Amino acid sequence: MNAVKRKNLAPWLKKSLGQPSRLHEVKKVLRQRNLHTVCESARCPNIGECFSKPTATFMILGDICTRSCGFCSVDKDASPLAVDPIEPMNIALTAKDMELKHVVITSVTRDDLEDFGAGQFALTIRAIKDTISSISVEILTPDFKGDKPCLKTVMDARPDIFNHNLETVPSLYGIVRPQADYKRSLKVLETAKEMSDDIITKSGIMVGLGETKDEVKRVLNDLKSSNCDAVTIGQYLRPTRNNLEVKGYIHPDLFREYEEYGKEIGLKYVYSGPFVRSSYNAEKTVRELLS
């Protein structure tokens, strides 16, 4: 895919690329064990900063998705890869090598698998915790098509944070997440909390896709009603020409308004800003909610 040259970006959307040498070093470690990160596959603007810390969001189950969301640059034009049985341990060993204190695990959507990839999530959580006793594990999962036994498989592995993103407001699902369902995603979050009420539940949305302020606030209320603990809100940036166009660059003042509103209605943690992503500064969520 051809990356988009972002001309005329708002001044608050300028960001340093970080240290090239550190970026190369982390990528080398990942390639040695044939691992993927969402940082690379989704063309995240924070990759230089995060890899310099170092932090990384590992992406399991390959780098080819079975869905075609309008915002996402992950490859969806090839056949999904076979599930790698040594991937969980490779991630655990890499997290240990990188001396991570908090690790985030996400995946492509695997509607082709009988368990939608839930088993690999569980194996990865357990491998990490068995390898590094003091680490906290956050997972960012697809919806597993709303399958409760699959969700239970994941929750029984005891992640510290369960994250499932709504991504956008209900009125935009048809173009942003055409194979997903807003109510189903809310139900996934609600059910996860019912299964393990001591595990932090988290979700995130993008803005700048054409949503209204009232719609964003309604989503925050829906998340509060679903007993979601933490929410992230960030600016959508078009990763390639094949993805949806940006409808608006949201001013930092409005991000602050969303954050203040979320806290006012009782959400435990809201992180809102132009460069905020689901796993950006994820350790900050851990410090505030697990301390």
Of 117, 38, 46, 113, the closest CA to residue 71 belongs to 38
Residue ranges covered by each domain of the chain: 17-290
The CA-based dihedral angle spanning residues 181, 182, 183, 184, taken in that order and rounded to the nearest 10 degrees? 50
Q: What are phi and psi of 162, to 5 degrees?
A: -110, 120
Helical segments of 229-281, H only: 252-264
pLDDT of residue 275: 87
Q: Which residues have C-beta within 8 Å of that of residue 56, sequence separation ≥ 6?
A: 26, 30, 37, 39, 50, 98, 104
> DSSP class of residue 211?
-
From first to last of its 291 residues, the chain has per-residue pLDDT tens of 444 445 467 776 765 555 554 555 666 667 677 776 655 544 555 455 555 555 668 999 988 999 988 888 777 767 888 999 999 999 999 999 888 888 999 999 999 999 999 999 999 999 999 999 889 999 999 999 999 999 999 999 999 999 999 999 999 999 999 999 999 999 999 999 999 999 999 999 999 999 999 999 999 999 999 999 999 999 998 888 889 999 999 999 999 999 999 999 999 999 999 989 887 777 777 777 766
Match 């491998």 to its residue by tokens: 127
Per-residue tokens: 73: 């640059």
Cβ neighbours for 254, distance < 8 A, ≥ 6 positions apart: 207, 213
Task: Please state, as a whole number, how many other Cβ atoms lie within 10 Å of the Cβ of residue 213.
Answer: 13
- DSSP H helical ranges for 165-212: 173-176, 182-195
> Pick from 112, 183, 121, 106: which is nearest to 152 by CA?
121
Say what the pTM is.
0.88
pLDDT of residue 201: 97
Q: What is the pLDDT of residue 63?
A: 85
Cα–Cα nearest to 50, from 290, 280, 286 = 280
Helix H, strand E, coil C: the string for 30-61 is HHHCCCEEHHHHCCCCCHHHHHCCCCCEEEEC
Distance CA 9, CA 13 (A): 6
Fold of the 17-290 domain: TIM Barrel (3.20.20)
79 C-beta neighbours (distance < 10 Å), count: 9
The predicted structure's pLDDT at residue 3: 44
